Chains A and B, each alone.
Chain A
Amino acid sequence: MKKIEAVIREEKLDAVKKALEEMGIHGMTVTEVSGRGQQKGISLQWRVGEYRVDFLPKLKVEVICHDDDCHLAIEAIMKSAKTGRIGDGKIFVMPVEAAYRIRTGETGEAVI
């Protein structure tokens, strides 16, 4: 099992959700986050002049998937979340040690 953490643009959530659903991945956790990448935030306007906002709002989508599906899911997110402009986000993948379904007590791959 792998956990995919994708930090994406807020407006790309629907596209990412749809792409994952098409490959049969329905379960996901979405969190509002703020952060910054290489462009170090953006500048906004005050009454006169500008000020810089370091941390921009993004969404973090967390998906747990089977090892075999992982690269497909990543590809789906990459494609659906991309605009080609700076600030499209990042994807991180990490191994999942164990998983439990609280309602039934199931463990392992069956939980996904």
Chain B
Amino acid sequence: MSAGDTGWILVSIALVMLMTPGVALFYGGMVRKKSVISTLMMNFAMLGVIGLLWVVYAYSLSFGPDIGGLIGNLKHVFLTGVEAEPSGVYATTVPHLAFMMFQGMFAIITVALITGAVVERIKFSALMVFAVAWLTLIYAPVAHWVWGDGGWLLKLGALDFAGGIVVHINAGLSALALVLVLGARRGFKHEPMEPSSIPLVMIGAALLWFGWFGFNAGSALGASGLASSALVATNSAGAAAATTWMLLAWNQRRPTLLGVATGAVAGLAAVTPGAGFIPPIYGAAIGIIAAIVCYYAMIAKMKLGVDDSLDVMAVHGIGGILGVLAVGIFASAAVNPAGTDGLLFGGGLSLLGKQLVGTVSVGAFAFGGTWIIAKIINATIGLRVKEMEEVVGLDLSQHGERAFGGIR
């Protein structure tokens, strides 16, 4: 056990925790005034619900002893066997409890990310049922495939340093499936849907960027050179993508704060799978590519007419896919001996192929699985609020609260 590593992981847990309220503010600023509370609530409530279920059973399903490469068993239910000593399998220099909680923060934010696609019309009760089902049936298996000891994608050799597959592709494709079942907001494409507060968006993006240091550099699972390398790659990607998006918007008309914030998040998402496998300067390259691709993905989405309201697919899905494939190109065993060389460093197409398998299998599983879960919820308790509730806004109809004061 290492005190330095333990200290860094405990700090990283706290950093990643702050990302979920960060997502809440990022999303909350982008929706209309009448839906701010509802959007914040969809995210903040995950800290409660998913945070609880994680320690009850979801950690065990994700990281418990392997069953057929597909899922963990129930050995660690109620944290049985998760002690202050290292696990012996995962993160062998820090307490098993710390590793468990670090992973728990990832599960929380991944579910929270999906909500951006369905804001302003999903029933809160339906979303909570969805969250529980999705954590159990989609997140836990995927986390096990990619990171769990014995998981089939891990054994295959697909690399995902901090969650490009588990978090971003998983959330992006699931969000898309959920939207297709739920449908577009009333007035989508016809009514102006003005963001309630761009400053909130910036605060949210800033908290995300801040937390991402724990997310990516924390995934080194130690206070090490590798953590530093991941941190530099992360910041370089965020910075490059923010700048690139600013220039894209400027070229179109004016440089927007919403654009800089969005660009930063796209770059940070894209560098996540590779942060600890690539030479850090390639983080900047990934950031630039991510900003350009995600920018045009949003334009394409608008043309397709799918109301993925806050672009979970375009930012996290596309950014994640891009980043996971970039690992196959930019990964270097010299940076991280646990990884392998990508195309650029003489590793040939082998790693890229494995990355593609990870992308396609998880993408298909997340999309298909979520679609089925959404259909079942829709057929039973219903996914969508009543028309009048949507017109009034979800803040009042679902929560009886409003974000900004009344007449006094």
Contact = CB atoms under 8 A, between A and B. Distances in A.
A105 B355 CA distance: 83
* Size category, B interface: 10 to 19
B253 A46 contact: no
Chain A: interface secondary structure? strand
Interface in B227-260: 249, 252-254, 256, 258-259
Contacts of A51: 192-194
Interface string A41-65: 0001111111111100000000000
Nearest to B253: A45
* Size category, A interface: 10 to 19
A52 B259 contact: no
Interface in B107-157: none
B194 A48 contact: no
Interface stretch (B210-218, B267-275, B294-302, B334-342): B294-302
Given A45-B253, A47-B311, A52 B192 contact: yes
A52 B295 CA distance: 20
B194 A47 contact: no
A47 B298 contact: yes
B192 A45 contact: no
Contacts of B256: 45, 47
A40 B254 CA distance: 21
B249 A44 contact: no
Interface in A3-54: 44-54
A100 to B, nearest CB: 24
A70 to B, nearest CB: 31
Contacts of A47: 256, 258-259, 262, 298, 311
A54 B195 CA distance: 14
Interface of A: 44-54
Interface of B: 192-195, 249, 252-254, 256, 258-259, 262, 295, 298-299, 302, 311
Given A49-B252, A53-B194, 17 more contacts: A45-B252, A45-B253, A45-B254, A45-B258, A46-B195, A47-B256, A47-B258, A47-B298, A47-B311, A48-B249, A48-B252, A48-B295, A49-B299, A50-B253, A51-B192, A52-B192, A54-B192
